[in-house]
Amino acid sequence: MRLTVNHTTTYKYDAPVDYGLQQVRLTPKERAGQKTIEWNLTVEGGKKELSFTDQHSNCVDLVSIDPGGDQITIHCNGEIEVSETTGVLGQHQGFMALWNFQQETALTRGGAKITALIEELGNDYTDDIAKAHALSALIVKHVPYLIGKTDAETTTEGALKVAGGVCQDHAHIFITAMRLLGYPARYVSGYLMMNDRIDQDATHAWAEAHFDGIGWVGFDVSNGYSPDERYIRVATGLDYSDASPVSGMRYGDTKENMVVQLQVQQ
């Protein structure tokens, strides 16, 4: 299946920005089952300073905001060929050793609530994959998909406490639980072609866990299944902070407003 993506993110500031830098992770990864046919990334109100590959093998574009500017727009579009792999990516590759994906982070730190969730999960499963899918269903039961309950800084324990969240929170909870259960796990950001609409207001997020003899397997907790040919993997990391589409800093006492326009279609 070939998917086309048209993605524009505009940051508007209420006062001129003296200086700003952003790390942009919006270039899809090459992998088994995913091939880039064409991909373009352009910037208005700033410029691309350089590009590099980070420790998670993500393609990162370092973008500066024009001094004195009050708006920057990042636009990417392209065509990606994706095939069905039932969520299986295979054995671990890359710069990061596998054991790194078992360490906790500020966003995926364990606590009383995730411990209780794991206890509720139990051990009565035929195999590791079945257990991971059961965990995914249990997470959505306790943390239904609700917009506005959390933000980009919400932790695993925080999302469980407010009993609501979005795909980022579901991925963090899954990752935390899997690591506590002894499995390497990581965060994935990317695109998802929706069956019922073309226009979307945000990118998507899911998780991957590593199993002996199988390798990395994806789990979209929010939707309740493993990624298929409708998914485009863009960036991965220990948590959202490693794989966020755009992150950065700026000087100047300004507030920002972000507007996203996104279309994913076949």
> Each residue of 207-230: pLDDT tens digit?
999 999 999 999 999 999 999 999
Q: For residues 160, 165, 170 and 172, what is the CA-based torsion angle, rounded to 10 degrees?
A: -70
CATH number, domain of 223, equals 3.10.620.30
Whether residue 228 sits in one domain with residue 106: yes
Of 115, 225, 239, 87, the residue nearest 177 (C-alpha) = 115
Whether residue 164 sits in one domain with residue 125: yes
CA distance 104 to 63: 29
Confidence of residue 250 (pLDDT cuts 50, 70, 90): confident
Of 45, 44, 47, 48, the residue nearest 70 (C-alpha) = 45
Whether residue 259 sits in one domain with residue 162: no
Whether residue 235 sits in one domain with residue 109: yes
The single-letter code of the amino acid at 100 is N
CA distance 156 to 113: 9
Quote the domain boundaries for residue 223.
88-243
Whether residue 24 sits in one domain with residue 112: no
Whether residue 170 sits in one domain with residue 66: no
CA distance 74 to 117: 39
Whether residue 186 sits in one domain with residue 260: no
Is the model's pLDDT at 83 over the cut of 80? yes
Angular region, 45: left φ>0, alpha ψ -120 to 50, beta rest? left
Token pair in block for residue 36: 């880039």
With H, G, I as helix, E, B as strand and everything else as coil, classify residue 66. Answer: coil
Over residues 185-192, the mean pLDDT reads: 98
Least trusted range by pLDDT, from 57-61, 123-127, 185-189: 123-127
Q: Using a cut of 0.75, tell me whether the model's pTM lies above it.
A: yes
Whether residue 109 sits in one domain with residue 203: yes
Report the number of secondary-structure helices (H) and strands (E) in the chain. 5, 14
**Is the distance from CB of 217 to CB of 226 less than 8 angstroms?**
yes
Whether residue 225 sits in one domain with residue 187: yes
Whether residue 130 sits in one domain with residue 25: no
Token pair in block for residue 7: 């993605």
DSSP letter assigned to residue 102? G
The domain tally of the chain equals 2
Q: How much is the pLDDT for 214?
A: 95
Over residues 165-191, the mean pLDDT reads: 98
Whether residue 144 sits in one domain with residue 233: yes
CATH number, domain of 61, equals 2.60.40.2250
In degrees, rounded to 5, the angle at the alpha carbon of residue 59 between the alpha carbons of residues 30 and 71 is: 130
Whether residue 257 sits in one domain with residue 231: no
CA distance 171 to 190: 13
